[in-house]
Amino acid sequence: MDDIGKRLVQLRKLENLGQKEAAKLIGISSVNLSRYEKGNRTPNPDMIKKLAKFYCVKPSYLAFGEEEHLNFLSDITKEEAKMLKDYLFRIREERQKHGGEIL
């Protein structure tokens, strides 16, 4: 597993998502997500942007491990972080149901 793969697995687990569920929400096949996570395939720059957007991190963090990727969350409580995470998950589910659009 390469470094991008390790970060992808870590981010997916932080979201409490299975690989198939994450792939569906991202809009890619579970086979491709598995390949990225295992380091069998390197995502191209556009895919890195897409993955970074989904996981709410900077593309440079995902690609190179650079920068603290969650600085903006450093001053919130654990309960607030959980609430934000739950809210973002619901938004992603709604977006998926409506073909990428939030109503």
CATH number at residue 18: 1.10.260.40
86: containing domain: 3-97
Total domains, the chain: 1
Determine the average pLDDT of the residues in 44-63. Answer: 92
Cβ–Cβ under 8 Å, residues 35 and 41:
yes
Average pLDDT, the chain: 85
DSSP 31-52: HHHHHHHHTSSPPPHHHHHHHH
The closest of 60, 87, 83 to 3, measured between CA atoms, is 60
Range 82-91 average pLDDT: 85
Residue 6 has pLDDT above 60, yes or no: yes
pLDDT at 71 exceeding the cut of 50: no
pLDDT of the residue at 30: 96
pLDDT bin (cut points 50, 70, 90) of residue 100 is low
What tokens appear for 81 in the block? 């972080």
Rounded (5°) CA angle 20-26-32: 60
Residue 53 has pLDDT above 60, yes or no: yes
Pick from 44, 29, 41, 30: which is nearest to 5 by CA? 41
- Percentage of the chain surpassing pLDDT 70? 84
8 occurs within a structural domain: yes
